Chains A and B, each alone.
Chain A
């Protein structure tokens, strides 16, 4: 089967660094996406990885290891507005995107 696993919830302190892990098992791989979703809103695109390695974009970085079926999203200098759900998604074969259940991140002062 196809599945994506990520932690259900995480809590971190404002100004700190947090790493959200994602492991996946899919038939076919055409890239891995991270989305941010605030409560009651639509998911918004954060990052895309298709090759192994680290992609950095401001305070957010995403890492991919295809051989291990593993990715992580790194958030630096956490702000209160970063409190949201973070969705890991894999573009599998056949134009199908599989989403993880999401990780709810709580940032506390």
Chain B
């Protein structure tokens, strides 16, 4: 069974630009969660989608948004990029129950110049 895939793996943008990251979950998984990981802050929860609906949202500004498609693939978008948005963005998929294990993709390394 293929794992979680994320594209692109690396991205360099400049301040003010916007970016879209993509995540394809494990086949059969209906939940996708997004996290931001920085050296100082660890893994910070962005949002979770299940069956195309956002089930929960972390404490990030409105510049961070996401969506999920009917095939469970998910995208997250960051508009008006700031230097502080430089981070590793990880997506994790699970079947969708509260107790399910989340399986992580390799991440997208975003650098904002």
Contacts and interface: CB of A to CB of B under 8 A. Distances in A.
A42 B41 contact: no
Nearest to B35: A99
A96 B58 CA distance: 8
Contacts of B35: 99
B98 A91 contact: yes
Contacts of A75: none
Contact of A96 (B41, B48, B105): B48
A105 interface: no
Interface string B31-61: 1010100000111110010100001101000
Interface in B56-104: 56, 58, 90, 98-99, 101-104
Contact of B50 (A31, A42, A50, A95): A95
Contacts of A101: 41-42
A89 B31 CA distance: 17
Contacts of A43: 43, 90, 104
A50 B97 CA distance: 13
Contact of A97 (B45, B103, B105, B106): B45
Contacts of B50: 95
B43 A33 contact: no
Contact of A50 (B41, B43, B99, B102): B99
A50 B100 CA distance: 11
A42 B105 contact: yes
B25 interface: no
A100 B35 CA distance: 13
A58 interface: no
Counting chain B CB atoms within 10 Å of each CB, the highest count among A42, A45, A100, A102 belongs to A42
B16 to A, nearest CB: 28
Interface of A: 30-31, 33, 35, 41-45, 48, 50, 87, 89, 91, 94-102
Interface of B: 31, 33, 35, 41-45, 48, 50, 55-56, 58, 90, 98-99, 101-107
6 contacts: A31-B98, A33-B102, A41-B106, A43-B104, A98-B45, A99-B43
